Structure 1
Amino acid sequence: MSATGQPLIAYADCFSGVSGDMFLGALIDAGLGLEELQAELGKLRLEKFTLQSFKQQDHAISATRLEIQTDKSDGARTWKDIRALIEHSELHGAIKEKSLRVFTCLAEAEAKIHGCPADAVHFHEIGGLDSIIDILGSVIGLHTLGIEQLITSPLPMPRGWIRCAHGLLPLPAPAVCEILKDVPVYGVTIDQELVTPTGAALVKSLSRDFGDFPAMKILQTGYGAGSRKLDGDRPNLFRLIIGHARQVPERQEVEIIETNLDDWSPECYPHLCQQLFSLGALDVSLTPIHMKKGRPGFMLQVITDPGRSLKIKHTILSETTAIGLRFRQEKRMTLPRKTGSVKTPWGPVQAKRVETPAGSVLYPEYEDCRRLALENQIPLKDVYAAVNRCSPEEFIESEE
């Protein structure tokens, strides 16, 4: 939450991928204090270290690089070691919970790849001091700056090979592929690592959504610099854009999600609607259809902001008998509208004023009209008629 009381959100723009040190560098570039970060990290029982940040330019863009200096060479740690390190620290509870979430994501991915229990996973590069500071520091930075929600862009997937403690591995690294299940990605013709396991775990564990740039009033932008020069003409930077969330009344590009159901009880529909609307669905409908072999069924259709579609798809597959979904993006046109109220003989009632090509039109809000009808024991149609008799000039716009 910002000083003005408005929620802060951040957009992780991964045009050249993301790594832990780039993520933390972007937070420092956006205003995270180095001394404050060092003090928070001091609550962990780590070997002695110092943090230094410096500016560097990539394609004429100024960015921040972070260096960690220590005299002691630390070895690989297990997931059990790291979990105890975090749990026994004096860090804020929210920082502990989110940091453990990131390391759990990494441990489960490594366990799946190596075929061993998560507690037995030995973090090599990831268990080193640098990676622990990158992850804990990034979580500390988001918490310190008051960023409540993180939205991340689709991630670029390179090709080629990378050498690590296990030898040569294909790109994207196996751990990255495992971590980024259900996350939107796209291929690029670069033979260098762009998304590290640490970076993948950070955005997968901490992001609310993956998709396009969210509606916001931009306050600050931070750039984190990578450690290598990328082939071609691409800057090796990660961008974090921070601002106040803005509610857009009508998004004009939407995603349509559909599925046909012939073995699902429609009595579950009200519960499903409530779940979908709570996740940000713009509209939900259920249409009777005839399916193959003449069986009656239903077509469920959901309209949503593309950035919120992933959780909505998961909910449909969890709450219904659907085993597959169709989805597409479409453009739409909506009329300008305002919410407010009009006066009736029984008191004010909520309504919308819609600006049509023929002029302003008032539309009663059903739930509030129903409330007024029940309170006054009058027919609902009388309340509707009273609203329809009002002129647009009598409309009182809501303050919010």
Structure 2
Amino acid sequence: MKTVYLECATGISGDMTLAALLDAGVDEAAIRRGIESLGLPGVQLQVQEVMKGCFRAKSIKVTHPEQHAHRGFSDIAAIINRSDVLTVSQKSLALEMFRAVAVAEAKVHGSDVEQIHFHEVGAIDSIVDIVSAAIGFDLLGADQIVFGPLPTGRGEVRIDHGLCAVPTPGTAELLKGIPLRDVPVLAELTTPTGAAIARVLADRFGPLPDMTIEQIGSGAGTMDLPDRANILRLFVGQSSSSLGQDEVCLLETNLDDVTGEVIGYTKQRLLAAGALDVYSSSIQMKKDRPGVLLSVIARPEMASSLEELIFKETGTLGIRKHLLQRSIRPRQAHTVVTEYGSVAGKIAWQRDGRPEFSPEFEECAKAAAISNCTLRDVYRAAIIAFERSQPDLKPGVPVSPTPPGEHDDHGHSHDHSHSHDHSHDHSHDHDHGHRHDHDHGHRHDH
């Protein structure tokens, strides 16, 4: 599968991301056409090669007439949607990034998305950065995008709301659940635009994955750091594995003084609160006392809230926590139409590309009760309906149900949405670590 990895050693910003994309071979002419289609007067994209420390990198700069507009989300959406060049997927991706910023800003300012006015992120240069990133990643067509941990930097920056500690409130909101690392630089290394790009695009965060590298793009930040090169590296290549990878957190506690009813109730509450899986095992504890091992698998960003729930419901004195790498088969939701009605389930793919359909128990049980037939009958009918209508599915190409008797292998709908949790917002586009006085409409790159 085609894999893209972003090594954010000195953070990430909009201009660094665009520069790295161009350096990795993304079509510059396509980017320029997309920018021109936004109808923003006087905008120019300057691309050049620079040296950062001892290393070559590409640098971009957006120039435009001075402007003081503070745009809201609807204003940004209007600018993007009026383009007759951007594809539907490019528009959708750009708007998702801006909405992430809006949600984050609404959270920190106690407002709602429609009332938020972007300041730095609503500036022309930030619009160009985000739209260009959407075009660039869409053109790359990666099957998975992985980001390294993000350094925020240290110190303070001046934004429209005054002096703020790094990371600024909107950026911090965007970075919730994202692995961070401390780099001892007194500057803003990860900007709001960069945080939004990572939040929306990342399939996961971690080290460079197993892959054969085909292209490397180096995007320069504008700031010169005294002891390191201010460069974002973007790796493009192929991963031999058809399995997806992600990171999960395993929470475990030993219980010997709670009833089975409490354990069962706690398991249901944990699942309702967002745990990926919850299970219990019989164990022997100290002095050969029988006990129960309660195990919870969760996304890392959910671990703290689920820990609190375990402490509250069980009264345990301690919880063990482990970060684990997980291999997962490509999967997607799917519905088949049977003689007993529609049945929802999931498709998963084997390593050799063969699809398998698993009907949901609740759906089959409901259909069996309505039709007054056995559960086995519904399961069997769902599997047969899938095998007849969907013999050649590929991962990442969603499909629609085919009614009985209409077993056409073509004409399926293709919903290319990814599973990123992107509800965040930030209103500052400081592309890399300088002091930012945003009283004017000029670009402030970092």
The TM-score by the shorter chain falls in which range? Answer: 0.5 to 0.7
Contact 1:9 1:245 in 2 (8 A): yes
Other structure's SS at 1:77 match: coil
Residues 1-400 of structure 1 correspond to what in structure 2 (within 5 A)? 7-71=1-65, 73=67, 75-90=69-84, 91-230=86-225, 232-247=226-241, 257-260=250-253, 263-265=262-264, 286-289=280-283, 297-300=292-295, 310=300, 322=310, 326-328=320-322
Contact 2:19 2:58 in 1 (8 A): yes
Other structure's SS at 1:122 match: coil
Other structure's SS at 2:222 match: coil
Q: CA deviation at 1:158?
A: 2.0
Q: CA deviation at 1:16?
A: 0.3
Other structure's SS at 1:147 match: coil
- Aligned mates of 1:99, 1:185 — CA distance in 2: 24
- Aligned mates of 2:135, 2:324 — CA distance in 1: 39
Q: CA deviation at 1:157?
A: 2.6
Structure 1 unaligned spans of 5+: 1-6, 303-307, 332-400
Q: How many residues matched?
A: 305
Q: CA deviation at 1:98?
A: 1.6
- Aligned mates of 2:250, 2:310 — CA distance in 1: 12
Which of the pair has more CA radius of gyration? 1
Query: Aligned pair in 2 of structure 1 residues 329, 259: CA closer, same or farther (>3 Å)?
Result: closer
Other structure's SS at 2:136 match: helix
AA at the equivalent of 1:310: P
Q: CA deviation at 1:48?
A: 3.7
Q: Percent identity?
A: 33
Q: CA deviation at 1:160?
A: 1.1
Q: CA deviation at 1:291?
A: 9.0
Q: Deviations over 1:137-169 (max 9, x none)?
A: 011101112223211111113221111222211
RMSD: 3.7
Query: Aligned pair in 2 of structure 1 residues 312, 56: CA closer, same or farther (>3 Å)?
Result: same
- Aligned mates of 1:119, 1:291 — CA distance in 2: 55
Q: CA deviation at 1:219?
A: 0.7
- Aligned mates of 2:79, 2:282 — CA distance in 1: 56
Contact 2:248 2:300 in 1 (8 A): no
Q: Deviations over 1:297-325 (max 9, x none)?
A: 443266xxxxx9538969x959xx75696
Greater strand share, structure number: 1
Contact 1:34 1:51 in 2 (8 A): no
